[in-house]
Amino acid sequence: MSGRTERARAAVDLTATIDPDEVILAVKAAVSAQPHLQKLVEPAGPPTVHLVDLSLLDDAEQDEQTAQLWDYAEDFGARDCGEVLLIRRSGGRTRLMARLPGTASSLDAERLLDAVVSVLRSSRTDDTGGVEAQLAAAPNEQLMWWACESDPDTARACHVRTTLEVAERVDIDALQDAVIAVAGRHQALRSTFGAEGETLLVHRDLAPVVHVVDFTALSDADRDEELARWYAEDAEQLIDMAVGPLWRIAVLRLTEQQCRIVLTAHHIVFDGVSERIVLDELAAVYRGAAQELPEPVDFAAWRREHAGRATAADRQFWRTCLAARTAVTRPTQLAAGAGGRLRTMLPAETVAALQRVAADMGCTRYVALLACYLMHRARSCAGADAVVVGVSADPRDAAARHGLVGYLSNLLPLRLQLDAQLHVATALPVVRAALLDAYEHQGLPFAEILSQSPGTHVSTCFNWDHVTQPRFGSACARALPDPASFVRFELSLNVVETAEPQLILEWDYTRDSYDADAIARVAQSYADIVAELVSGDELVTAETIHGRFAARPPSPRQRWPRTTALRASPLPNWMRARIGSLPAYCPPTCRPRLSSPSSDRCVCQWSRRCSASSRPARPSVLSRPQRLKPRSPHTCGRVDRSW
């Protein structure tokens, strides 16, 4: 560290006029209610409150004076208690600025202001503007609420944090206006939870204040050290689901022309699609392009319309799918706790080869990488009768995917019996068929899936994220990796797709289950399986396909035509894009080795020897036997597309 002690400081903007006496009482109440803050200011007592009235100055002078107050570097004595400045600006705007002495950090100053604002909000009945709507909490929300209430580490693991780096100075006032505007567009962002987590309260006016943390005075080495400390302390800071807001935002000033915008939200009102929507809307409002945004979808109306859509068939499907699970002793949803994250990368040439192999087999990169992950778990968990991996499903329709924020995604426990001795390519059609089955029955919330199959435990998860680069001002923001300190699953793989040709693999793990060396071995083992898939080696041997003959995967000219199987209901476009196209018919002899346990669909990619009369009638080129040319036994009667 440098020789000069840096003062901890933070600032928040409020839209209401506040009396100094209110702030004095709020500071005292905040300090007394927080043992950490109380210990920090002893023996000097709570910070003193000073009123600074800038309301008679013009806007430019107000900005200049506020900046000078922020940069003011008066040294505190060892027994000084610090200060809170109440800065009044024109238009009824108010800024609270906290500066603490001694060993306090910027996060301590943020916590003080958070507590002060919470006290002010609770004491002013008009601050939240009342409750706009009361909704019954969804089953998945109730499950997450109970999990978070029962274990603080689980609550921390349910925080979704995103960091954007902007190569210019961020206008704090403009960003605060954008936060208020985006909160006004989405009811989920103005929500809190009532007692027992059974009620979702939508407030008319509830938005977080933008915190500012200044690192510009530090050297590069000190800045890196303080940034790591800030991220670690921020990960420890819980979001109060009863008080709200359930999201927060901070601006970290690194240099005069380099800032970070850190958005943290509770997963109970925020999923992956919500993250993209909120970041895009914040950027649009910030740069003055709010008129370009689509109309937001009414959160309450959408929930009422889509509530209770699970059918008896959905319940029966999940009971059957999970009935033969391996017995477990932990009944909780999450294996959450203190954890870490390892980032690896699939190079561009591997991604391109993966795309070709998956397309040749009628699948997508998503299915291919998920199949590799499932095969990795099957080979790692020797002796288990099946592997269970959680995958996400999003119920939003086309309009909602661009304008609906909330915890709407559903976790589907995908259970498969895979022979670890087989080549990984044999898993692709199996995984695709299982995904189709699961997506067709996604109407049953994960919380109810657990109730249908007591004892089910999902300890590992596979996810796919697409990261965008919203434009704040004239610069496009760059997403930075987050140093995860708490994770929701014992092991999870998150594939991150960016504008670059390579794919990023994020391995989240609990420290109780893995150490750094163990997770590195897991990542390397997975990379070896991906290499096995794209290597072009023999995919099937005499021991693996019916014990009769060898076969190679069909070439693009030989593979089945892309057709759409008849389904009970059409799949959304995003789901078809995720799964790909693969015919749903093949001989019954393939099912014992290569099919999903709960599916009567035949999924073998290579053997197509059944006659047209044995398949369900459908208007497809596949039902015309004259287009199937006889081939040698070693090609399994593949379809010839040369006609």
State the Cα–Cα distance between residues 390 and 414, nearest whole angstrom.
Answer: 6
CA geometry: angle at 197 spanning 195 and 198, to 5°? 95
- Using pLDDT thresholds of 50, 70 and 90, give the confidence band for residue 633: very low
Read off the tokens for 611: 């006659």
241 closest CA partner among 259, 265, 213, 277 = 265
What's 77's domain CATH number?
3.30.559.10
CATH number at residue 482: 3.30.559.30
> Percent of the chain having pLDDT more than 90?
33
Q: Do 326 and 422 fall within a single domain?
A: yes
* Residue 285 pLDDT: 94
**508, amino acid identity:** D
Residue 463 has pLDDT above 90, yes or no: yes
pLDDT of residue 66: 83
Scanning the structure block, which residue is given the tokens 């991996």?
Answer: 389
Task: Please state, in angstroms and rounded to a whole number, the distance separating the CA atoms of residues 474 and 593.
Answer: 56
pLDDT tens, position by position, 592-617 = 333 333 333 333 333 333 333 333 33
Give me the pLDDT at residue 455, please. 64
Last residue of a domain, one of 479, 500, 534: 534
48 shares its domain with 150: no
- Asked if residue 376 has pLDDT above 50, the reply is yes
Distance between CA 284 and CA 210 in Å, rounded?
17
For residue 504, the surrounding DSSP H or E stretch is: strand 503-510
Distance in angstroms (rounded) separating the CA atoms of residues 379 and 387 = 10
pLDDT band at 79 (very low <50, low <70, confident <90, very high): low
Q: What is the mean pLDDT of residues 573-577?
A: 57
Task: Categorize the per-residue pLDDT at 109 as very low, low, confident or very high, splitting at 50, 70 and 90.
Answer: confident
Say whether pLDDT at 257 is over 80: yes
Q: How far is the C-alpha of 54 from the C-alpha of 64, rounded, in Å?
A: 10
Taking Cα atoms as reference points, which of 442, 434, 203 lies closest to residue 306? Answer: 442
Instruction: Identify the weakest region by mean pLDDT among 182-196, 301-315, 324-338.
Output: 324-338
Residue 498, C-beta contacts closer than 8 angstroms, at least 6 positions apart: 466, 467, 479, 504
- Quick one: average pLDDT of 234-258? 91
Q: Give CA–CA dist 225/234, Å, rounded.
A: 14
More reliable by pLDDT, 393 or 310: 393
Highest mean pLDDT among 229-243, 298-312, 538-552: 229-243
> Does some domain include residue 623?
no
Q: Is residue 600 part of a domain?
A: no
Q: Between these two residues, 405 and 90, which has the higher pLDDT value?
A: 405
Cα-based angle 427, 431, 437 (whole degrees, multiple of 5): 150
- pLDDT value for 324: 57
pLDDT band at 108; cut points 50, 70, 90 = confident
Spatial separation of the C-alpha atoms in residues 614 and 322, rounded to whole Å: 30
Residue 555 maps to a domain? no
Number of domain units in the chain: 3
Which strands form 247-255's sheet, in the order they lie side by side? 210-214, 247-255, 258-266, 159-166, 478-480
**Is residue 586 domain-resident?**
no
Domain boundary among 72, 92, 127: 127
Please tell me the predicted confidence (pLDDT) of residue 200: 92
**pLDDT, greater one: 537 or 19:** 19
pLDDT at res. 353:
94
**Is 511 in the same domain as 407?**
yes
Please write the tens of the pLDDT for every residue from 467-480. Answer: 888 988 887 889 89
Structure confidence at residue 97 (pLDDT): 86
Mean per-residue pLDDT over the chain, rounded: 77
Give the C-alpha separation, 76 to 5, whole Å.
10
Q: What mean pLDDT comes out for the span 173-190?
A: 93
DSSP letter string, 453-501: STT----EEEEEEE----EETTEE-EEE----SEESSSEEEEEEE-SSS
- Which residues are CB-contacts of 365 (< 8 A; sequence separation ≥ 6)? 351, 354, 355, 358, 503
Please give the full DSSP string across 66-127, using - where no structure is assigned. HHHHHH--PPPPTT---EEEEEE-GGG-EEEEEEE-TT--HHHHHHHHHHHHHHHHHH-TTS
Residue 587 predicted with pLDDT over 80: no
Specify whether the backbone of 636 is left (phi greater than 0), alpha (psi in -120 to 50) or beta: left
Q: Which residues 6+ apart lie within 8 Å of 308 measured at CB?
A: none
Task: Fill in the DSSP letter of residue 443.
Answer: T
Does residue 586 register a pLDDT over 80?
no
Mean local confidence (pLDDT), 331-360:
83
| 101 and 169 inside one domain | no
- What gap in Å lies between CA 47 and CA 44, rounded to an integer? 8
Is 78 part of any domain?
A: yes
Q: Cα–Cα distance between 424 and 591 in angstroms, integer? A: 17
Residues 279 and 139 in one domain: yes
Strand pairing partners for 94?
A: 14, 88
Q: pLDDT confidence of 337, banded at 50, 70, 90? A: confident
451 and 315 inside one domain = yes
Residue 311 is encoded by which pair of tokens? 């059918």
Identify whether 566 is part of a domain. Answer: no
Residue 104 scores a pLDDT above 80: no
Residues 165 and 295 in one domain: yes
**Orientation angle between helical segments 365-380 and 427-440, nearest 10 degrees:** 110
Beta strand ranges found along 241-310 (DSSP E): 247-255, 258-266
Which of the listed residues 127, 145, 165 is the one where a domain comes to its end? 127
Q: How far apart are CA 578 and CA 595, in angstroms?
A: 20
Cβ atoms of 133 and 202 within 8 Å: the answer is yes
Does any domain span residue 415? yes
Q: Give the amino acid at 239.
A: I
Span 249-253, average pLDDT? 94
Average the pLDDT over 152-173 and give the result. 92
Does a structural domain hold residue 320? Answer: yes
Q: What is the pLDDT of residues 406-432, one digit of tens each?
A: 999 999 999 888 888 888 998 899 999
pLDDT digits (tens, 9 = 90+) for 11-45: 888 766 777 877 888 888 777 766 666 666 666 67
Which are the contacts of 310, defined by CB distance < 8 A and separation ≥ 6?
A: 443, 444, 445, 448
pLDDT higher than threshold 60 for residue 444: yes
Structural domain that includes position 329 = 310-534
CA 400 remoteness from chain centre: 17
Residue 325: what pLDDT? 52
- pLDDT in the model for residue 250: 93
> 259, exposed or middle or buried, with CB in 10 Å at 0-12, 13-18, 19+?
buried
Q: Which one has a higher pLDDT value, 84 or 331?
A: 84
> What's the sign of the alpha-carbon dihedral 535, 537, 540, 541?
negative
Among the listed residues 377, 395, 380, the one whose alpha carbon sits nearest the alpha carbon of residue 438:
395
Amino acid identity of residue 566, one-letter, is: L
Tell me: do 271 and 258 sit in the same domain. Answer: yes
Greatest mean pLDDT among 1-15, 96-110, 387-401: 387-401
As a whole number, mean pLDDT of residues 433-446 equals 91
- Whether the bond between 245 and the residue before it is cis, its omega within 30 degrees of 0, is yes
Report which of residues 618 and 453 the model is more confident about. 453
For residues 231 and 327, membership in a common domain is answered with no
What pLDDT shows up at residue 362? 87
| 156 and 116 in a common domain | no
Residues 336 and 433 in one domain: yes
Task: State yes or no: pLDDT of 623 exceeds 60.
Answer: no
Q: Give CA–CA dist 330/128, Å, rounded.
A: 40
Question: pLDDT category, 386, cuts 50, 70, 90?
Answer: confident
Question: What is the predicted pLDDT for the residue at 331?
Answer: 35
Phi (first) and psi of residue 517, to 5 degrees: -70, -40
Higher pLDDT, 563 or 241: 241
Does 138 share its domain with 281? yes
Q: What is the pLDDT at residue 504? A: 94
